[in-house]
Chains A and B, each alone.
Chain A
Amino acid sequence: MIISAGNDIVDLQAIDTARTKNPRFYTKFITGPETRLYSRPQLADMPFEHFVWLLWSVKESVYKFKQRHNPGLVFSPSKISVQCINSPSVSTSARLPEEPIEVKGFDKQIYYSGAIVFEQQELYFRSVVNNAYIASFVNNINSFENIYWGIKRIDHTGPDFQSAQVREFILKKLKQVAPADAIKIIKNSSGCPVLYNDMVEANLPISLAHHGHYVAYAFHLTNAPDAARHSIN
């Protein structure tokens, strides 16, 4: 099975709410059938602008997941079709941990989940939705037990700062769970971040995202005792 990683984050303070709600805006990437998902009872409590950015973040995560193995892939959000959205079984606001959040896997009780179809393939997502940000994570199986992820608030919003912060954030975690001497992240020619150890590409796909005051990472690492060493060396 191909392993990859794909994530995205949207800082809700950095978006234009009035513009988001304008059909001229959201119909650029949300199709008619997807718009109808909003009228389902499970999304009754979700503001429409959250719905719009939830779909955007899922679609962007799918693109990142697929683009790693298909560098020429064009981001066509309207062709990435969100099939269903399941809301958490308990109210999230009281239960979501404070940032920085660093977790492995997703408890369906407190996160949104759903399925996507892209190029005849079914993919799956988990999303963190609150009033500050929306973060999504994608996998090609409906299990996220091997996905490590993190979300952190940062002090400044410039792209160089965001980029440095998200790299520092993920590298710190990687050093805990997959110790190696000389890991670094290098963007390949198609803009995809790739983890290297001693200048050898590691078999450990990572995905990075930043927007406004938030950064987020995801990486795929299996549980087996030697997997970390094997993945990174």
Chain B
Amino acid sequence: MTRQEILTELKKVLSPYTLDKEALAGIDENTDLIKDLKINSANLVDIIIDAETKYNIEIDYDAADKMVNVGGCIDVIEEKTNQQT
């Protein structure tokens, strides 16, 4: 998967947790989940669990810490899916 492909799929993971669909449609690697998409921090763990399920990966503490912006999420998903292949 390319980073762009992961980004496209990531929109589906983030969608249940943001009301700002316009901001979601326009996300890039610098988009902050809380500041830009107005996702409540109480949902950050939901996003990690949903990403784990979608990609069949396991995201540990250290990796989870990086998932505060879109680029960080893509880094983690890319790294963990590459480890499987």
Contact = CB atoms under 8 A, between A and B. Distances in A.
Interface string B31-63: 010110010111001101100100000010100
A19 B49 contact: yes
B34 A191 contact: yes
B40 A28 contact: no
Nearest to A20: B45
Nearest to A8: B41
Interface stretch (A71-79, A89-97, A221-229): A71-79
Given A28-B64, A158-B19, A60 B41 contact: yes
A158 B40 CA distance: 10
Given A24-B52, A76-B65, 15 more contacts: A10-B42, A14-B42, A15-B42, A19-B46, A24-B49, A25-B45, A28-B48, A28-B59, A28-B61, A53-B42, A75-B68, A76-B61, A159-B19, A191-B32, A211-B40
Interface string A1-39: 000000010100011100100001100110000000000
Interface of B: 19-20, 32, 34-35, 38, 40-42, 45-46, 48-49, 52, 59, 61, 64-65, 68
A148 interface: no
Contact of A191 (B35, B40, B49): B35
Contacts of B40: 159, 210-211
Interface of A: 8, 10, 14-16, 19, 24-25, 28-29, 53, 56, 60, 74-76, 78-79, 158-160, 191, 210-211
A28 B76 CA distance: 15
A79 B64 CA distance: 12
B45 A29 contact: yes
Given A76-B65, A78-B61, A158-B19, A211 B42 contact: yes
Contacts of B35: 191
Nearest to A210: B40
A71 B65 CA distance: 15
Nearest to B38: A159
A75 to B, nearest CB: 7
B75 to A, nearest CB: 14
A128 to B, nearest CB: 16
Contacts of A210: 40
B27 to A, nearest CB: 16
